[in-house]
Amino acid sequence: MSDIQFALTILAVIIILIMIIFNWIRLVQYRKQNHAEKSFLYKDENGLSPEEKNPYDQDLSISEKYLLSNLPKNIYRDIDAIAFIRLNKATHATSKLNLRDFIELPHAYCFIRRNEDEWQSTEDLTGSASFDQILIAIQLVDRQGPISQAHTQTFRMLSEKTKNDLDGSLIWLSHSNIEEDAKELNQFCALVDHMMTLTLIPKNNGMFDNEKLIETLKTDGFKVNKDGFHEFKGRDKHPLFRVTSLNQQPLSFNLDPYIQGILFQMDLPLTLSCKESFDAMLESITNFQKELECMLVDSNKKELNVNHIERIRYQVEKIENQMVAKNIIPGSSCARRLFS
C-alpha cells in the first residue's frame, strides 16, 4: 500500500468516527428534548391519540391541548366553558379562590393542583393545600335553557379576580365565547331532547286486569324507582325505559283500579345504546301484548303497524347518531349532566 492510499484510509476512518460521534450527540439531544416534551407545559400534540384531537384545537397551543386531554373527572369540554389559571408560584391561599361566589353559580366547578398531581375539587378541601394551578368550569346549558347573561358575567369576573388575586395567567381551554356557544348548544339540545313514548291500550276499548298487569311488570323485570315509576334497567343497572299511566304519572293500582292504558317511555338523551334499548323495549311490549291482550296505538288510538315502528326506530337511531357526532354519548355521564 502506497503512502497516499494509507493516508486516504486513515482519513476515511477519521470521517466515519466523526459521523458516529455526531450522530450519537444528536441522539442524546433528541432524547433530552423528547423527555422535556412529556413534561407539563411541553406536551407534544403528536402524543395525543386521534380520539383526543378535535377541530376546535386548531387555535390551541401544545400546552392547552395537553391540559384538555387531562381534565378532571366529570368535566367536559363539549358542554363546559373551561378556564385555566397558572400561578407564578405555588401558594396555600385557598381563601383567595372566591369559592363562596363560585358555589352560588349553577353548575360551576373549581379544581386545584400542584405540578402534575391529580386535580382536587375545592368541594373536597378539608384544610390547607398547596397549589399552583386552578381550573374553573361552568356548564353552558341544562334542560331549563342556556346559562344566563348575569351568570356568564359573574363567572368571567370571578375568573379574572381569581387570576389577579393569586398572581397568575389565564387561558380559556374551551368556549371562551360563552354566550354564543351556549346558544348554539341549546339549539342542539332542543333538537335531540326527546321522550320517545309508545301507548298500549286493552283491545275492544276495555280495561287492564290490574293483577295481570302487576304480574307482567314483575315477570318482565320492572322495578319501582324512588319516584314511584316502574323502570326497566339494562345489564349495567342503567335505566332504559319505564311504564307510566296515560297521564305520565306513576301507576297507582290502589287509587286507579280501572287502568285504560299505559305508556312505555324512553328518555333518549339519557339512554345508553338507544337503538338496542329501543329493541329491548319493543320486546317487552310484545310480551305485554301477549299476556294482557292489548295493542300498540298512536295518539288517535289507531293500531301501529310494522312501518310505523320502523319509522320510529329510524328517528331513534338518527338522534343517537347526532349526539355521538357531537361527542355527547346518550346515557353517558356527560349527557346525564347536560340533560339534568
Per-residue pLDDT of the chain (340 residues; tens, 9 = 90+): 566 666 767 777 788 778 788 777 777 666 655 544 444 443 444 444 433 444 444 455 667 777 888 899 999 999 999 999 999 999 999 989 988 888 899 999 999 999 989 999 998 787 788 999 999 999 999 999 999 999 999 999 999 999 999 999 999 999 999 999 999 999 999 999 999 999 999 987 789 999 999 999 999 999 999 999 999 999 888 999 999 999 999 998 887 778 999 999 999 999 999 999 999 999 999 999 999 999 999 888 899 999 999 999 999 999 999 999 999 999 999 999 999 8
Domain interval for residue 87? 71-185
Is 201 among the domain residues? yes
* Prediction pTM value: 0.78
Within 10 A of 34 (CB to CB), how many other CB atoms are there? 12
Question: First and final CA of the chain: distance in angstroms?
Answer: 89
Q: Are 109 and 121 in contact (CB under 8 A)?
A: yes
The whole-number pLDDT of residue 249 equals: 95
With respect to residue 91, please indicate whether it lies within any of the assigned structural domains: yes
Residue 166: give its domain's CATH number.
3.30.1400
Q: How far is the C-alpha of 69 from the C-alpha of 75, rounded, in Å?
A: 11
Domain-ending residue, one of 163, 185, 207: 185
pLDDT at 157: 95
| Residues 221 and 148 grouped into a single domain | no
**Main-chain dihedrals φ then ψ at residue 57, nearest 5 degrees:** -80, -5
Q: What pLDDT score does 146 carry?
A: 97
| Cβ–Cβ < 8 Å for 257, 270 | no
Q: Choose among 122, 183, 173, 123: nearest CA to 152.
A: 183
CA distances for 45 relative to 38, 59, 69, angstroms: 10, 12, 10
CA angle 29, 34, 37 (to 5 degrees): 130
CATH number at residue 267: 3.30.1400.10
* Same domain flag for 177 and 205: no
Check whether residue 220 and residue 140 sit in a common domain: no
| Residue located via cell numbers 368571567 | 156
Cell digits of residue 95:
381563601
The answer to whether residues 165 and 201 belong to one domain is no
Q: How far is C-alpha 116 from the chain's CA centre? A: 23
Residues 236 and 315 in one domain: yes
Supply the Cα-derived Rg of the chain in whole angstroms.
Answer: 30
CB atoms within 10 A of CB 192: 19
Pair 38, 48: CB distance under 8 Å: no
- Region of 279 (left: φ > 0; alpha: ψ -120 to 50; beta: rest) is alpha
The alpha carbon of residue 194 and the mean position of all alpha carbons in its chain are separated, in whole angstroms, by: 18
Residue 1 lies in a domain: no
Contacts of 225 by beta carbon, 8 Å cutoff, 6+ apart: 231, 239, 242
Q: d(Cα 126, Cα 123) in Å, to the nearest integer?
A: 9
Q: Is residue 42 part of a domain?
A: no
Find out whether 250 and 228 touch, Cβ atoms under 8 Å: yes
Question: Cell numbers of 136, please?
Answer: 374553573
Question: Which of 185, 213, 232 marks a domain boundary?
Answer: 185
